[in-house]
Structure 1
Amino acid sequence: MEWERALTHHFLMVGPDGDASPIRSFEVSDETIAQAGGLSGPDAREGAMASFTRHVVQAGGLPNALRQGLHPNMDAQGLPGCFAYLVLTLYVASLRGNGEERNGDFRHKLRRFLGSERSFMDMPGVAGMWAGLQRWLARRRKTDARFRELVFPEVPVKWSHIGISLKFAFPTKTDATLMASFLQDKPAAAGNPLRLLAEFAPVIDRGRRSAGMVDAFEDFRDAFAAGERLLEDHRFWRLVQACSFGDRPEASSPAYLSFGFDEEGQPVFSAAREDGTKLSPGPRTLSEAVSDLTAAGGPAASTPAYLVFRQTGFGRWRSTDGFERAGPRVRLGLPRAAHRRLQRGGPRFVESGGWLFTAEPVPVALAEEMVASSAAAPSSERLASISVTGGVRTGGLWLGRPAFMPYVDAGGSELQVRAGPGAAGIVSLDCQGRGPERLQAGGPVSGTWFLEPPGGRQRSCRQIAFAPNAQPHRDALAGDEAGEILLDWAGGSAQARFPGQLPAEAGWSRAQGAMSDLVEAVYAGGRRGWDEGDVVAIVGEAFGDAADPWAMLRVLRDATVVQPRLRHRWRGRTWTLQPPALLPWGNGAVVQGAVCEAEADVFRKAAASVGAVPFRLQEPSGLAPPLAGCVGGDLQSLVARMDWRIEPAPRCPAERPLAFWETDHTLLGKEPASRWDWDAGKFVADGRRGDGAVSLTRWTQAANRDHDVYQVLADGREHRLHSRDAALVLAHCLARRPLFTVSGGYLEARVRGAFLPDAIAARLRLSTLANAGLTDGRSRYRVTPEEAARAARLLPGAVAGAACAAVGHDADRVASVRHSSGRIRAAWTGGALTTLSTGGPGWGKVSR
């Protein structure tokens, strides 16, 4: 039964790639049987065939199966019971024989394989088992969408016993030999379907080939003549490509380039294989990534004459082979020498090492014109397949959230979406161009769906399965091995409680909208951590141009969903999920860490079961994650049921102004990459150092083997930090330029990309029970007057509109005076130390 199950799953069910196309042939060989059995290694084929032979041949039921179609009834186990016998007939038909495949030839090969002297002339049981398999599949497909349709071939009337097996067996060893010999003489035909059909027709008419080869060739020829181009997965074309490429590693796992943008908007490139193998050690220039790509191709590989990038997501692009599948707008990469030959007045190019690429996307027709002088025109007869890319995976399924639906590419062919068993929700596809198009959904979707050409043409089909929510991570999340956590604020102390009580009747708000989708997506793909470029692209998918992805990523950080870690040795960061925990708080607890919707629902029910009242609070703006917790109850029992931990006490910011976390990394070997422009209120990438009484400069290493360093210079003193956010706040404090404003119970940033240091933001989150969010692209924190005054004291000069308040100790007041550049003065009044402002709106106001 084990081989019956393994063969049924491998040959009759939708595979990991989602190919749900109808089955028109079976490639059965030592290799495919070993794959079905899950065996690998140098002895896999021999071991698999020995085990398969013992199960099918030596078990004793083969003669009755061939003569009468008798086989075990395994329907109760969800198996046909006859498929292992049929696979044996397909294997025998695929063996190398004598002359063309005829009934007698099959029987000769069967006798040879079994080592028997029987004639095997009477085998109507084979046709009977195929008919039984067809009926069994029809029943199973009504309830289980994982099974593929089996399209039976036309069989001559005289082939009443083994004809179906002969027609289904493709490619045979004879077929592979014939095709390899043909392509050795005419290698150019492998990339040109028109030429292949014209030149291979005489060969197949006179050559030694199987009945399955004839059917496959005729089906491919008829489909191509009818205008179908979704034939890249056609069984005949797959044989052509296999015989053309052989066993080269790059053929089975091709490489590509991708690029996104870093925090300062600069492009960063990398090379990788389709199987996920990284070829670039870190963020690279385009010329360095091209070198990585060329090296992956081996000694025979050559540097490409140009590169075409198609968009795969918000801010994410990847190289593609030619223009046919690139989409309506592309980015073009050219070597510097090729760029000099272009006419002036064209698109603007940006330098990246020894290569240049278009600063903005350009129409594909214009890109074709730009490379026409150095590259052949793309073929209009290019074949395509249905591919599904992008999106987020969770537990082997696609996350079915509207903001993160995957992209579908069919090379310009029209597709329709069909609901399968268990499908819930609405999924649609609007094909308007030749590039990838995103599936559309009106809300969370689940179940199985099919992508296929309209009109009943079923040569190509893809199955995709959705889950409406991310699946909880029950194993360990990525931790310290991913790198050191990047901090803004140094020091701090543990404080068990803050003033205030949790709301007793806050209620449980429903998670919905793009923010809910974003939290689910980041959680789903973050078990092992996110590469910074990937997580920025994912964040950008949720809001598009409505919110800066870097700003939204910082919002998730302040909400304790993710935390940044410095990569080991290399420039850049990885982002890991913060493990979930309960923080005892007043008369209850607050949830810390990354929690998906499914786990949040479990928490809500578990809290109620231990006598607690769960709550989830949502900011009105919608651009802030919700904050959850509970009031009352047995917290020890609750964390035991959730398999979480209790966070003993939060780390509160050090009560010392300007306590930023600085680094001892030097600027040796680094170059200025961007500077803070005080007039424009943003970083400018012009390769100059920052200027003014207080300057802020970002320094990078060309080899990308060290992290960026932000240098702040003021009054002859240098500060070096890894955190961009902290460096920006420090520079404004030292320059006495307000960066934040307090108004109406909120502390808001004056410029985009400005955030409070992490420790101060964490205190505000707990003291107000509200996560930070974005308003008009700027950060926004709910704040009390006391906490606003505390923030103003810790960040002197950077917070405007905060009234003085009696917070801190005498030592803190002395520190605020020392760092105020004379704007705050101390006085001993009535036996107590007081401070007063010497100017501005609060002048003369005393703080005790």
Structure 2
Amino acid sequence: MQQTEESILRNLSVNDWVQRLQNHYLRADGPYGSTKLTSLDVTPAGLAAAVDAVDCSDEVVLKAFMALFSRSYVQKILGTKIHESSGLYAYNNFHLLVLSCVVAATTTNAGDSKQYRERLGALLDDGKGAEQKVDGVNSLWKALAIWVNKKGDLYREIVLPEPGSWTLIGYAAKLAYPSRKDRAYLKKILKELPDKALDNQNILLNYLKGSSYRLPERMRDDLADLIRCYGNNQSIETHHFWQLIENILVEISREEPKHSTLLWSISVSFGGWDGEELEDVFMSRGNRRAELENPFWHGTFSQLLTEYRTPPQIKKLLDSGCIILCESYGGLWTQDDRKPKEKQKAIILSCSEKIVKNFKKSLKLGHRWYCSETMSFSSALQITAGKGISDSNHQNTELRIEGGIPLGRGKWLSRPGYLPNIYIEKDAKLSISPPLKLQAVGNIINIIELIKIDGEWRIEWKLKNNTCFKLVRFFKNAPLVSKWPERSDRYEAAVELSYEDGVPLTNSEIVTSSSGIFPNQLSDALEAIYARAGAPRSESEIIGILRTVLPTDSKLKYLVWDVLRSLEEAGWLEQDIKRSWRGRVWRVLPPRIVITGENTAIVEGAIAAAEFDFLRIEAQRVGVNIHVNSALPFAAPVIGLIGTGLWELAEILGWPFLRAKIPEIKTAPNCWPLENRTEMGRKLAGVWKADPGLFVSELQQKPKGPTLSRLVREDDRDVFRIEEGSTTFISTQRIVALLEYARRTNNPLFIYRDRCLERQGAGGYLPLPVAQWLRRSTGIQSGPCLTCDQSYSYHYGVNEQQLAVLEKVFACAIQGHKKSKSNNQVMKIAKQRHRGMRLSHFIYGN
């Protein structure tokens, strides 16, 4: 980790440093918010926080920072007085102004001298001694303050201190705070605090107040101001001294991983076909709010009860036998270190019979624990008699902007349905500039206006004497992903078929013209998923994103699972199955070019707006034509490429380049993966009913012939069992079980109609390698196909040769068509021409 941070730090350009320093110290949407700039924490730890390199040592950070400067460069900027109207010049050279404060603040590599010029010379470390040319320092700071203070809400107001007798360097010397020595005093106190001190902000501030006599005078004053703000119910999140406390707590927790943290959260997600299974539990901890976005642990509820790393606040709730979770974004139910709002929706998890008997509908979690139905938070408190909420919750007074699809540093995706919510206090007055249409639901404010352009908005709320605002930026498109997640060792791939790669695909029927509407409604969901590509995502989060753009008709209740499968077959997503328990996460995959024939290819992987624009521009340059098949609006589009420059295009884009191959498959059941799991220790959860194509709780009468059942246990994957006389077939893959059941019962799961395989019922797919082969060779989307009566099926494009192979491999699970009596080739060609088809190219959707 350290080496990675160091390499990133070394690769930062001067412009990268300047921009990050400006964003961190000057902008109002940085960590200090709109508070006035009266000091700069430019100790090495402060610089590390500014450039996201907090794992690096002081020496490494300072060395990387000082590598930006030569003595002649420093002399040119800091040694020359400028006019007060040259503020933009000072802003563009802000890293030099930061250096002017570093000289005064740091003791790392600056020697023991108290003389400013000697310390600067020591930091430059070129053997030339003290640097005398610092005549321009005060003028640079003054010009910057004038320029920034005219910019209004975009930047923090700079309040320059009295320079005193230091007419050349006084601003820098007095803005540099704390010194490394000051910081050490505070860190020592924080390290000595008992775990109890980190229960909440109020307790922490009281402990610090009791030790304030050990702090330098300026720190004592800042602590007193921080306590005053807290006592007046004002947000302290952006107070500069609170930021300093947070930074030091982060350092301590990295140095001592077992040390308690100030912030924590516990969340659960629900999954399953009907969304009625508690699927995952997540725990997060940290000393900055952003740290809670990445859980340090997740597992089943049963595993939670025996986890030894549980934060003490959560452990106390579990020991009480009751915990209340409130509805959060991403399909999660959460309790964290902040006090919930009265009108939030909530659920109760409890093992107390007195509490559970008041549930109208309960879901068994195991170990005597049950989950309630959804209710208001106030109703939950009545049922639990006030239990289930941590007594260490912080006050919750800051302006909160949550949900939606965050893009980092105050940025959000502006696609319809994916805008964040604004949480305000009761009776607070909210204003947004420029104006946007809003809808209030209790203390939650929804943005209901379609944001058509990228831009920045000021959101402000006022309550009595407390005013708080944040600057947010909305963007239609997500930025290009620079780092893609990899599969963790704790997970493994889902294996649906045993096969070998055969000969390369050479005769694909790639689409030669675009069909359907693109971009379409599904594109908004794809943009949102692409924006979340930085880490593996829970299934409930992906499902929640997809449902936002899908029809709400009750007949289409399970459509979302078909859309998810379509994205998997298109290479957009890949599932990672937990090795040790029942659960899976999804990773967004990078784009790649897959060769499907001579001068033809398709693009697989995540292609959002930025990636598609990148592809389109470079493809045009090398003479490659792009055709998009999006005739099925809720299936992943097929992006086809035709041209001689495919290799060159892949090299320019930096995308993987591979050749599609035809899978060699044995006939079922010999093509199914070997399964080591058994039905031992599992209980019956459902029996397959062909119509409507779902697992139901029980059948009214025992069917004749094979029976397909779903068996479950809390700590492992589901098992699907086919019983036929004295023989039993077991698989952990639903897809495998459904196809094998259809084969054994002679009831086709897919029927061939008009060059497509059409699914019968609501569930079942072809194995992933087969689906990819069909998609690559036909250029036709695989995915849900809606009909005019608001019903749907799942379709795969298929040609005659492929159909014959599938009928041979899967037997009665695939129903072909009766052979035509006429073999007249002329009639066949004429029929194809009439339908708009060519012998070698199939145009779908025109």
Corresponding letter in the other structure for 1:333: L
Whether 2:524 is the aligned partner of 1:517: answer yes
Match of 1:79 in 2: 93
Whether 2:360 is the aligned partner of 1:347: answer yes
Q: Kindly state the Cα deviation for residue 364 of structure 1 after the two structures are TM-superposed.
A: 0.9
Residues 36-56 of structure 1, C-alpha deviation per residue, up to 9 Å, x if partnerless? 68786797389959999x999
Match of 2:144 in 1: 133
Question: In 2, Cα distance between the equivalents of 1:267 and 1:690?
Answer: 30
Aligned residues of 2:339 and 2:394 also touching (Cα < 8 A): no
Aligned residues of 1:676 and 1:696 also touching (Cα < 8 A): yes
Match of 1:803 in 2: 817
Match of 2:832 in 1: none
SS at match of 1:595: coil
Aligned residues of 2:706 and 2:723 also touching (Cα < 8 A): yes
Whether 2:600 is the aligned partner of 1:599: answer no
Whether 2:769 is the aligned partner of 1:753: answer no
Moved more, 322-331 or 409-418: 409-418
Q: Kindly state the Cα deviation for residue 347 of structure 1 after the two structures are TM-superposed.
A: 3.2
Whether 2:736 is the aligned partner of 1:729: answer no
Aligned residues of 1:331 and 1:360 also touching (Cα < 8 A): yes
Match of 1:289 in 2: 304
Q: Kindly state the Cα deviation for residue 404 of structure 1 after the two structures are TM-superposed.
A: 3.6
Q: How does 1:431-470 map to 2 (within 5 A)?
A: 431-434=440-443, 442=450, 446-453=454-461, 460-470=468-478
Match of 2:571 in 1: 560
Aligned residues of 1:233 and 1:385 also touching (Cα < 8 A): no
Q: How does 1:370-519 map to 2 (within 5 A)?
A: 370-372=383-385, 374=387, 382-392=395-405, 398-410=412-424, 415-418=430-433, 430-434=439-443, 442=450, 446-453=454-461, 460-473=468-481, 478=486, 483-488=492-497, 490=499, 493-494=502-503, 496-498=505-507, 501-504=509-512, 506-507=513-514, 511-519=518-526
Residues 719-756 of structure 1, C-alpha deviation per residue, up to 9 Å, x if partnerless? 22232122123223323344445567654434323323
Whether 2:683 is the aligned partner of 1:672: answer yes
User: Which residue, 751, 769, 780 being the options, matches 2:780?
Assistant: 769
Q: Kindly state the Cα deviation for residue 368 of structure 1 after the two structures are TM-superposed.
A: 1.3
Percentage of matched positions with identical amino acids: 16
Whether 2:395 is the aligned partner of 1:365: answer no
Q: How does 1:16-165 map to 2 (within 5 A)?
A: 20-26=33-39, 28=41, 30=43, 32-33=45-46, 35=48, 44=58, 75=89, 78-80=92-94, 81-85=96-100, 131-138=142-149, 141=151, 148-150=155-157, 152=159
Paired residues, what number?
758
Q: Kindly state the Cα deviation for residue 466 of structure 1 after the two structures are TM-superposed.
A: 4.9
Corresponding letter in the other structure for 2:567: L
Whether 2:636 is the aligned partner of 1:625: answer yes
Whether 2:331 is the aligned partner of 1:315: answer yes
SS at match of 1:271: strand
Moved more, 772-781 or 71-80: 71-80
Q: How does 1:606-685 map to 2 (within 5 A)?
A: 606-619=618-631, 621-644=632-655, 646-652=657-663, 654=665, 656=667, 660-667=671-678, 670-672=681-683, 674-678=685-689, 681-684=693-696
User: Which residue, 712, 720, 727 being the options, matches 2:722?
Assistant: 712
Question: In 2, Cα distance between the equivalents of 1:7 and 1:591?
Answer: 35
Question: In 1, Cα distance between the equivalents of 2:437 and 2:420?
Answer: 12
Mind listing any 5+ residue stretches in structure 1 that lack a counterpart?
Answer: 93-107, 115-123, 420-425, 808-848
Q: Kindly state the Cα deviation for residue 536 of structure 1 after the two structures are TM-superposed.
A: 3.9
Corresponding letter in the other structure for 1:402: P
Q: How does 1:690-701 map to 2 (within 5 A)?
A: 693-700=705-712
Q: Kindly state the Cα deviation for residue 534 of structure 1 after the two structures are TM-superposed.
A: 4.6
Corresponding letter in the other structure for 2:736: A
Aligned residues of 2:412 and 2:474 also touching (Cα < 8 A): yes
Question: In 2, Cα distance between the equivalents of 1:136 and 1:78?
Answer: 12
Aligned residues of 1:330 and 1:367 also touching (Cα < 8 A): yes
Aligned residues of 1:690 and 1:697 also touching (Cα < 8 A): no
Aligned residues of 2:515 and 2:628 also touching (Cα < 8 A): yes
Question: In 2, Cα distance between the equivalents of 1:758 and 1:690?
Answer: 32
Q: Kindly state the Cα deviation for residue 610 of structure 1 after the two structures are TM-superposed.
A: 3.9
User: Which residue, 590, 593, 600 being the options, matches 2:602?
Assistant: 590
SS at match of 1:453: strand
SS at match of 1:661: coil
Question: In 1, Cα distance between the equivalents of 2:284 and 2:451?
Answer: 33
Corresponding letter in the other structure for 2:625: V
TM-score norm. by structure 1 comes to 0.70
Change in 2 beyond 3 A, CA 1:552/1:458:
farther
Aligned residues of 1:712 and 1:731 also touching (Cα < 8 A): yes
Corresponding letter in the other structure for 1:258: S
Moved more, 695-704 or 723-732: 695-704
SS at match of 1:709: strand
Moved more, 168-177 or 438-447: 168-177
Q: Kindly state the Cα deviation for residue 452 of structure 1 after the two structures are TM-superposed.
A: 3.6
TM-score norm. by structure 2 comes to 0.70
Question: In 2, Cα distance between the equivalents of 1:60 and 1:498?
Answer: 65
Q: Kindly state the Cα deviation for residue 76 of structure 1 after the two structures are TM-superposed.
A: 6.7
Corresponding letter in the other structure for 1:292: E
Q: Kindly state the Cα deviation for residue 149 of structure 1 after the two structures are TM-superposed.
A: 1.2
Corresponding letter in the other structure for 2:746: R
Residues 351-394 of structure 1, C-alpha deviation per residue, up to 9 Å, x if partnerless? 21336343432111101112225468989993333445554566
Question: In 2, Cα distance between the equivalents of 1:472 and 1:157?
Answer: 49
Change in 2 beyond 3 A, CA 1:178/1:457:
farther
Whether 2:270 is the aligned partner of 1:261: answer yes
Corresponding letter in the other structure for 1:667: T
Residues 692-736 of structure 1, C-alpha deviation per residue, up to 9 Å, x if partnerless? 6322233445434xx443222224332222321221232233233
Question: In 1, Cα distance between the equivalents of 2:393 and 2:654?
Answer: 58
Question: In 1, Cα distance between the equivalents of 2:246 and 2:480?
Answer: 41
Change in 2 beyond 3 A, CA 1:780/1:655:
same
Q: Kindly state the Cα deviation for residue 516 of structure 1 after the two structures are TM-superposed.
A: 1.0
Question: In 2, Cα distance between the equivalents of 1:498 and 1:29?
Answer: 63
SS at match of 2:93: coil
Corresponding letter in the other structure for 2:612: A
Aligned residues of 1:18 and 1:464 also touching (Cα < 8 A): no
SS at match of 1:273: strand
Aligned residues of 1:449 and 1:463 also touching (Cα < 8 A): yes
Change in 2 beyond 3 A, CA 1:513/1:720:
same
Q: Kindly state the Cα deviation for residue 502 of structure 1 after the two structures are TM-superposed.
A: 4.0
Corresponding letter in the other structure for 2:611: E
Aligned residues of 1:785 and 1:803 also touching (Cα < 8 A): no
Corresponding letter in the other structure for 2:562: A
Change in 2 beyond 3 A, CA 1:20/1:446:
farther
Change in 2 beyond 3 A, CA 1:278/1:806:
farther
Corresponding letter in the other structure for 2:615: F
Q: Kindly state the Cα deviation for residue 626 of structure 1 after the two structures are TM-superposed.
A: 1.6
SS at match of 2:307: helix
Corresponding letter in the other structure for 2:377: V
Residues 650-682 of structure 1, C-alpha deviation per residue, up to 9 Å, x if partnerless? 324748466652323131654135223427642
Question: In 2, Cα distance between the equivalents of 1:716 and 1:374?
Answer: 53
Aligned residues of 2:28 and 2:470 also touching (Cα < 8 A): no
